[in-house]
Amino acid sequence: MSQQNLEALDVGTIREAFPILQREFNGEQLVYLDNAATTQTPDPVIDAMSDYYREYNANVHRGIHHLSQEASIAYEEAHDRVAEFIGASGGREEIVFTKNTTEAENLVAYAWGLNELGPGDEIVLTEMEHHASLVTWQQIGKRTGADVKYIRIDDDGRLDMDHAADIITDDTAMVSAVHVSNTLGTVNPVSDLVDIAHDHDALAFIDGAQAVPNRPVDVDAIDADFYAFSGHKMAGPTGIGVLYGKQAILEAMQPYLYGGDMITKVTYEESTWNDLPWKFEAGTPQIAEAVGLVAAIDYLEDIGMDRIEAHEEELARYAYEQLAADPDIEIYGPEPGPDRGGLVGFNLTGVHAHDLASIMNDHAVAIRAGDHCTQPLHDKLGVAASARASFYIYNTKAEIDELVSAIDDARQLFA
Ligand code: 7TS
């Protein structure tokens, strides 16, 4: 993509839409660089959810009255909007609302994995999986007897695709891979992985939690069988995530949760299942959150996903270059470029990442420190924890300068 031609974001106007960014701590304005954990919420999303509760709050799919009809239409159409946003040509049948990415992984692991996998089958993950996928498939492996294998990463934090081609075989039943690593920032060649999986008749699940918020994603083009992401990492509310699944595969799968709304006919002896996607949405769903997610998608698309991607790349490059110039800092993941997303994980020699984050916090700079739910990857990197600055549409280079100056403070304190 020729990002040079993209008009820069109007970050000043964007910031005005995020009331929380005005907060101050110790007299200093918040610098929020923890967007890979969760992003902040703009007024249009807060307003859409508030309007829902003020104007048309009701349960869905079960009321004849006006409010329930309005809520049901908004809730159902939210699936259409999500399908359009991620290029799912099958429409709402392919969009299941979950609590988050983690629940989407578990849904497939329980509803498909437990029923389909057994001894002799193999599940292939990457060494950079988030625990949401790693722990889930590891446990499904233990329960079914399927083996779990990991595609290696190279010294730059990229997937070793030769190794992928070696370990994905006719015994592979599922390949589950992260689209953008939340620790290394690596953008993985997911279409290539999906192709290798399909060459061996395996299914492919792509974890898009760190991709959908900040780059155009087209699930039809990627051709994954499943693709998942969370609303709260893309300017939307907490409590809602999305599982995209190819219609034929979702049709063939057993339900994950049982209860109201996911059935068509129930007797004391038997039950039959509702159409997609409702078969996978038991009980009262996330109605206000679905409304909020649509508002977030509208908001992001108004800005333009390609421009958001370019902004993230620019900030990541700037942060990388500032930090790489410091001999005491070790950065994880690939050099800046199209295969690095908008985050930088690093360590400052001699200072524990938690201490670093704590000094940052004294300067009202919010970063994350810890294992970022990738403990095995941290083991591989030979560190217990890392610090991570992650960017979004409202971040600026000036904020990265504040990060760098807070790092200098930490060094002096701990020297
Ligand atoms: N997959 C990836 C790649 C993630 O980064 C995360 C959350 C998840 C799955 C799980 O998302 P959830 O919405 O179900 O929690 N990652 C992070 C993080 O990096 N810091 O806090 C949460």
CATH of the domain at 27: 3.90.1150.10
The rounded Å distance from CA 123 to ligand 1 centre is: 21
Q: Are residues 73 and 171 in the same domain?
A: yes
pLDDT for 6: 75
CATH of the domain at 183: 3.40.640.10
* Domain closes at, from 301, 333, 358: 301
Q: Are residues 260 and 315 in the same domain?
A: no
Q: Are residues 53 and 191 in the same domain?
A: yes
* Domain closes at, from 301, 317, 351: 301
Query: What residues of the chain score a pLDDT lower than 70?
Result: 1-5
Q: Which domain holds residue 407?
A: 3-39+304-413
pLDDT for 2: 43
pLDDT for 5: 60
Nearest protein CA to atom 18 of ligand 1, as residue? 37
Q: Are residues 175 and 264 in the same domain?
A: yes
pLDDT for 7: 82
Q: Are residues 291 and 308 in the same domain?
A: no
The rounded Å distance from CA 34 to ligand 1 centre is: 12
Q: Are residues 244 and 158 in the same domain?
A: yes
Q: Are residues 365 and 399 in the same domain?
A: yes
Nearest protein CA to atom 6 of ligand 1, as residue? 209
List ligand 1's pocket residues with C-beta within 6 A. 36-37, 100-102, 130, 132, 178, 182, 207, 209-210, 230, 241, 368, 372-373
Active site residues: 373
Q: Are residues 208 and 73 in the same domain?
A: yes
Q: Are residues 293 and 182 in the same domain?
A: yes
> Which residues fall within 8 angstroms of residue 53, CB to CB, at 6 or more apart?
288
Q: Are residues 171 and 257 in the same domain?
A: yes
Structurally, the chain folds into a number of domains equal to 2
* Domain closes at, from 244, 273, 301: 301
Q: Which of 181, 212, 230, 293 should be mutated for ligand 1, with most atoms under 8 A from CB? A: 230
Q: CA 401 to CA 407: how far, in whole Å?
A: 10
Q: Are residues 396 and 282 in the same domain?
A: no
Q: Are residues 240 and 111 in the same domain?
A: yes
Enter the pTM of the model: 0.97
Q: Which of 233, 234, 367 should be mutated for ligand 1, with most atoms under 8 A from CB? A: 233
